[in-house]
Amino acid sequence: MLLTVFTGIVALALVLQSLAFIGIFRAVRKLSERLESMSVETTKKILSLSGNVDELLAALRRIAVKVEGIPEQVGAIASLVHRRAVDLDSFVGETTDAARMQVAKIQDLVETSSTTIGETFEIVQKGIVAPVNEIAALIRGLKVGLGFFFRGRRSPSSQSHHDEEMFI
């Protein structure tokens, strides 16, 4: 009897264990199916991501190729700007020197002209105006002298009365 009971307990334990293993089997199969579906989705996402990364790398390569020449171009532009600045500085220096020479020539011309005009006025003064003044003074003196001889002498008393009347 004990053996039967013990065999019955073992059989029951075996049945329960079998049911537990069936339950575990079903749970593992569901988990496996779930993992497989997740694996398929993850694989699709990884493939999509891989494609996007490949596109990004291709775009970065194209950009890198384009960017490669930029430092050389910037260097060429900088040297061109430097040469132009040196040329412009040289031109401004030459122009300034030429302008200074022209200003000096104009100053010399003005000084020479001023001196010449002053000398001309002096020559005109001495050669024309002074003799004309002398001739005018001589003619005035002759007029006064001739007027004195031809009019006769006036009496100083009539002139002084006349001057006094004008004063009053």
Contacts by 50-56, CB closer than 8 A, 24 or more apart: none
Give dist(CA 82, CA 88) in Å, integer. Answer: 10
Going by C-beta distance under 8 Å and a sequence separation of 6 or more, which residues neighbour residue 82? none
What tens digit of pLDDT does each residue of 16-30 get?
A: 999 999 999 999 999
Token pair recorded at residue 96: 């300034």
pLDDT tier for residue 149 given thresholds of 50, 70 and 90 = confident
Q: Which amino acid, 3?
A: L
Q: Is the pLDDT of residue 134 over 60?
A: yes
Question: H-type helices in 69-129, by residue range?
Answer: 70-124
Q: Of residues 106 and 168, which shows the higher confidence score?
A: 106
| Per-residue pLDDT tens over the stretch 57-94 | 999 888 888 787 788 888 889 999 999 999 999 999 99
- Spatial distance between the Cα atoms of 136 and 138, rounded to a whole number of angstroms: 5
